A and B are shown apart, each in its own frame.
Chain A
Amino acid sequence: MAGQSDPHLPMFTAPEVEFLAEDEIVEIIPNVRMGALHMICGDFGPFLPQIAVKVPLWLAVAMKKRGKCAIRPPGWLSVDNLTQVLEAERESPREFQALPFHYVEISRLLFDHARDDIPDIYMVRSLIEDIKGVRFHKVETGLETISGRTHAVKLKNLSAMEVNIVRPFLVRTLQAFYKHDSPQIVQPQGSLNSKRPQAADRGPRRDLRPR
Chain B
Amino acid sequence: MANYYNIDDILMEEEPITSIFQVRANGVGLLDPGSESNCVEAGAKVDLPLWLAHELHLRQAVAIGVPPCFSQRTRKEVQADAACVDLRSRCPYFYELGCKIFPLVGDKSIGPFLLYTFTSRYKEILSKSHSAPVSTSPKYLPRLTQEETQLFKAAQWSIASFRKWRVGGSRLEKASILGRKRKPAAAQLPPAG
Pair from one complex:
yes
Instruction: Report B-chain residues with C-beta under 8 Å of the C-beta of A205.
Output: 109, 112, 116
Q: Which of B39-81 contact A (CB under 8 A)?
A: 57-58, 63, 66, 72, 75, 78-79
Neighbour of A169 across the interface among B118, B155, B161, B171, CB < 8 A: B155
Q: What is the interface of chain B mostly: helix, strand, loop, or mixed?
A: helix
User: A180-B95, A200-B109 in contact; A14/B126 too (CB < 8 A)?
Assistant: no
Q: Is A188 touching B103 in the complex (CB atoms < 8 A)?
A: yes
Please state if A179 and B151 are interface contacts (CB–CB under 8 Å).
no
Minimal beta-carbon separation of A180 from chain B (angstroms): 4
B158's partner among A18, A167, A193, A203 (CB-CB below 8 A) is A167
> Per-position contact with A for B151-168: 1 when CB-CB < 8 Å, else 0?
101111111011011101
Give the docked Cα–Cα distance between A2 and B78 (Å). 27
Whole-angstrom distance between the Cβ of A143 and the nearest chain B Cβ: 6
Most buried by B among A9, A18, A200, A201: A201
Tell me, yes or no, whether A75 is within 8 Å of chain B by CB. Answer: no
Decide yes or no: A204 and B158 within 8 Å by CB, A173-B122, A176-B151, A181-B115 being known contacts: no
Would you call A161 and B154 a contact (CB within 8 A)? Answer: no
- Chain B contacts of A144 at CB under 8 A? 123, 126-127
Binary flags per residue of A182-193, CB closer than 8 Å to B gives 1, else 0: 000111100011
Which one, A9, A143, A196, contacts B106 given CB within 8 A? A196
CA distance A14 to B157 in the complex (A): 11
For chain A, the bracket of interface size reads: 35 or more
What residues on A are CB-neighbors of B116 within 8 Å? 203-205, 207-208
- B172 to nearest A CB, angstroms? 12
Q: Which 9 residue pairs of A and B lie closest in terms of their CB atoms, listed nearest first?
A: A194-B106, A14-B165, A204-B116, A168-B154, A169-B155, A185-B111, A205-B112, A201-B109, A2-B153
Q: Can you give 21 A-B contacts (C-beta < 8 A)?
A: A2-B150, A2-B157, A3-B154, A3-B158, A140-B126, A143-B126, A144-B126, A165-B159, A169-B129, A169-B158, A172-B151, A176-B95, A176-B118, A179-B95, A180-B111, A180-B118, A181-B115, A187-B108, A187-B111, A205-B116, A207-B116
**5 more A-B residue pairs beyond the given contacts A187-B111, A203-B116, A204-B75, with a C-beta to C-beta distance below 8 A:** A2-B153, A168-B154, A169-B155, A188-B111, A204-B78
Could you tell me which B residues sit within 8 Å of A by CB distance? 57-58, 63, 66, 72, 75, 78-79, 95, 99, 102-109, 111-119, 122-123, 126-127, 129-130, 147, 150-151, 153-159, 161-162, 164-166, 168, 171
Residues of A within 8 A of B (CB): 1-3, 9, 13-15, 18, 108, 112, 136, 140, 143-144, 146-148, 161, 164-169, 172-173, 176-177, 179-181, 185-188, 192-198, 200-205, 207-208
